[in-house]
Structure 1
């Protein structure tokens, strides 16, 4: 089995390598190719990756290349983990929206739109090159904003599944709180990428006992602390929102907070510099503890589970993924991309049925889906007016003058990445 990782020079990659090494019985990789134009970073990470495999006794071959076409040739699956513009672009995404009194974040709001505009054309080009050389390969998208990017790929006819680590993070956290194994925890996870709610936490599977009321009653303070939301939010809703919902439920508080502390991009850039120094140590043969602070917790386990289901011997698995709606949420179009539990096998994911949603959640999902429609249109066809309309439709913007100001700033800060700007 051959896997290729586009964006293999990311400081995330050792987390992925560690998972591939530990879970080799689940996903028996014979060859892993790390692909990245940043040759110096790629060499550091490739060396560490080989040492991790060697220490854990993994027999697979790890190679590195800056040649995308050569790297993806004959791959059974291609993982995408890109950041167009690097941390410098992320810093801008987190900064200029604050000038308009809006949240500055790389996947949500105006910053998320900027990232989508930069990313979608690049990802589509990569996917087309994968299809030309190997049309049967699965594309696993971990590139944010995952919902919009995955929808672009599916709309273009690619064999694609989107992946996020929010659900697996909740699963691991809740299992520890309930003194259960992660395999014992099934989440009623519903929504869009970075806009989800845990409507149930079930023991053993979809039909199992719902432990969510018990979880909130006994561990509500800890969960609320993780989410950085008041405990009363959990008590009144009776569900656990994704931590990305804080940008909606406490928007003004977040804006004030972001204006008084260093950006996450600056923190990550400093962390990446330190990580790359560690990766260059020829004695290092495991992922360093610092990597846990970088983000992407449990990404490797989620990626292994998904790839194993897509490339396995005919069995299936239940996993939270980003895939086509196809009637699962009846208030959305079939071609919307939703994030829900699905049964995954070699033919791809099939979403499980979802109970009728409370309008409190359905309304916001519908609103953000409409924004994503317009965001994808802007990413595919360009134009200031399309960018403006996407921003005007976003529930965190929604005002004419605000959308005008954000549009001007978005275009000014992203000219080098937008061919049409």
Structure 2
């Protein structure tokens, strides 16, 4: 089995490598290819990857290359984890929207749209090259904004599934709180990528006992602190929203925080410099503890489970993925991409049935789905008016003057990445 990681020079990659090494019985890789245009980073990450495999007695071969076509040739699956423009572009995404009093964030609002415009054309080009070489290969997208990128891939007819680590992170935290194994918990996870709610936490499977009320009663303060949301809000909702809902539920407070503290991009850039220095140490043969602060917790476990299920029917039979709605949520278009529990296997993904969704969540999901549709049109076809329409439709913006100003700012800061600008 051959798997290719596009963006293999990312500082995330050792987390992925560690999972591949530990979980080799679930996903028996014979060849792992790391491809990245940044040769210096790739050499450091590739060296550590080989040492991690050697330490854990994994017999798979690790190949590093900057040649994408060579990398994907014969791959059974291609995992995308790229960042067009790097951390410098991310820092801009997190900064210029603040002048309008809007959240600056790389996956939602104006910054999220900027990232989508930079990313979608690049990802589609990669996917086309994969399809020319091996049309049966699965594409697993971890590249943000996952919902829009996955929708672009599916709309273009690619065999693609989107992946996020929010659900598996919740599963691991809740299992620790309850004193059970993570595999015993099934989440009633519903929404769009980075716009999700846990409406149930079930012991033993989809039909198991719902222990969400117990979690909120016994551990509500801890959960609220982790999410940086008020405990009374969780009590009134009776569900557990993802961390990203703080950008909606406490928007103005978050903006003030962002205006007075170092951007997350600057923090990550400093962390990456330190990590890359560590990776260059020939004595290092395991992922360093600092990597846990980089983000992407449990990413490797989620990736292994998904790849195994798609390629050989292994892994967990039910997983949270980003996939076509196909009638699952009747208030959204069939071709919308939703993030829900699904049955996953070599034939693809089939979302599990979902009970009626509270209008409080359904309304926001419908609004953001409409934005994602407009964002994708802007990413595919360009043009100032399409960018403006997407920004005007976003619930975190929604005002004419803001949309006008942010449109000009977005284009100015991303001109080198926009072929039409």
Length-normalised TM-score, structure 1: 0.99
Q: How far apart, in 2, do the equivalents of 1:61 and 1:204 lie?
A: 37
Aligned to 2:94, the other structure's residue is in SS state helix
**Contact persistence 2:77–2:139 (CA under 8 A):** yes
Q: Which runs of 4+ in 1 moved over 6 A?
A: none
- What's the CA shift for 1:111? 0.2
By how many angstroms is 1:304 displaced? 0.1
1:99 maps to 99
Matched, 1:15 2:15: yes
The answer to whether structure 1 residue 397 and structure 2 residue 415 are counterparts is no
Render the CA deviation track for 1:23-75: whole Å, top value 9, x for unaligned.
00000000000000000100000000000000000000000000000000000
Change (3 A) 1:408 1:154: same
Instruction: Work out whether 1:287 is the aligned partner of 2:287.
Output: yes
Partner of 2:113: 113
Cα offset, 1:207, TM superposition: 0.3
CA contact under 8 A between 1:98 and 1:259: conserved in structure 2?
yes
Match of 2:327 in 1: 327
Q: 1:168·1:298 contact (CA, 8 Å) conserved in 2?
A: yes
Contact 1:314/1:346 (8 A) holds in 2: no
Q: How does 1:66-145 map to 2 (within 5 A)?
A: 66-145=66-145
Q: Which residue of 2 aligns with 1:299?
A: 299
Distance 2:347 2:322 in 1: 15
Q: In structure 2, what is the equivalent of residue 185 of structure 1? A: 185
Counterpart-to-counterpart distance in 2, 1:290 and 1:316: 29
How far the C-alpha of 1:161 sits from its partner, in A, is: 0.2
Question: How much does 1:316 deviate?
Answer: 6.7
* 2:50 matched residue in structure 1: 50
Q: Please state whether the residue corresponding to 1:221 is helix, strand or coil.
A: helix
The residue matched to 1:187 in structure 2 has which SS? strand
Partners of 1:32 and 1:379 in 2: how far apart?
31
* Residue deviations 1:264-297 (CA, integer Å, cap 9, x gap): 0000000000000000000000000000000000
Whole-angstrom CA distance in 2 between matches of 1:286 and 1:65: 22
In 2, the alpha carbon distance for the partners of 1:234 and 1:326 equals 30
* TM-aligned CA deviation for residue 158 of structure 1: 0.2
Q: How far apart are the structure 2 equivalents of 1:176 and 1:380?
A: 43
User: Which structure 2 segments of 5+ residues have no match?
Assistant: none
1:150–1:161 CA contact under 8 A, matched in 2: yes
Question: What secondary structure does 1:11 align onto?
Answer: coil
State the Cα RMSD in Å. 0.7
The answer to whether 1:378 aligns with 2:378 is yes
Conserved 8 A contact 2:166-2:242: yes
Q: What does residue 350 of structure 1 align with?
A: 350
- Deviation track 1:341-393 (CA, whole Å, cap 9, x = no partner) reads 00000011000000010100000000000000000000000000000000000
| Structure 1 residues 313 and 236, CA gap change in structure 2 (3 angstroms) | closer
Post-superposition shift, 1:313?
4.6
* 2:407 counterpart residue number: 407
Alignment correspondent of 1:242: 242
Paired residue total: 421
- Tell me the residue number matched to 1:64: 64
- TM-score normalized with structure 2 length: 0.99
Q: Secondary structure at the match of 1:373?
A: helix
8 A Cα contact 2:343 2:351, kept in partner:
yes
The structural deviation recorded for 1:198 is 0.1
Indicate if the aligned counterparts of 1:100 and 1:402 stay in contact, CA closer than 8 A: yes
CA contact (8 A) 1:188 1:341 kept: yes
Return closer, same or farther for 1:294/1:117 CA change in 2, 3 Å cut-off. Answer: same
Please give the alpha-carbon distance, in whole angstroms, between the structure 1 residues aligned to 2:2 and 2:273.
30
Cα distance between partner residues in 2 of 1:300 and 1:215: 26
| Structure 2 counterpart SS, 1:396 | coil
Q: State whether residues 79 and 142 of structure 1, in contact with CA within 8 Å, keep that contact through their aligned partners in structure 2.
A: yes
SS of match in other structure, 2:205: coil
Query: Secondary structure of the residue that 1:207 maps to in structure 2?
Result: coil
Query: How many angstroms apart in 2 are the aligned matches of 1:327 and 1:399?
Result: 32
Cα 1:179–1:135 change in 2 (3 A) is same
Indicate the SS of the match to 2:321.
strand
1:384 and 1:398 mapped to 2: Cα distance? 16
CA deviation after TM superposition for structure 1 residue 315, in Å = 8.5
- Residues of 2 paired with 1:165 and 1:314: CA distance? 19
